Amino acid sequence: MIIGTGIDIIEVSRVADKIAKGNGFLEKIFSPDEIAFCEQKKDKDEHYAARFAAKEAFLKAIGLGLSAGFDLCNIELFNDESGKPHLRLKGPFEQLAREKQWQAVHVSLSHIQSTACATVIIEG
């Protein structure tokens, strides 16, 4: 049964501008593993933007938004051996998944030079 769905789309330039300003944006939003993954990519801003969109899509799927004040590093994206993206939930999100007995959290990412989007589906 589907518990929640979320989708987000973002302009890559918005994320690139935040990264360029510094101010600890990367460390506030992305885990060290996510940063390492994106930094090794030629089109790293697109990868950062897609991961940002996935975090926001996840929050929408659980009925929250960015204004809820959660640590976004507790929503971590990683790719398996085949390149498929997955969400790793930590802290309060991991606890919520256990309490609600979620069976799976699916994520899909897409990006082009100007735009990134993500969809999250939670099964219970």
Active site (catalytic) residues = 60, 111
Q: Which long-range contacts (CB under 8 A, 24 or more apart) does 16-24 make?
A: 16/45, 16/48, 16/49, 19/45, 19/48
79: CB partners within 8 A, 6+ apart: 37, 85, 86
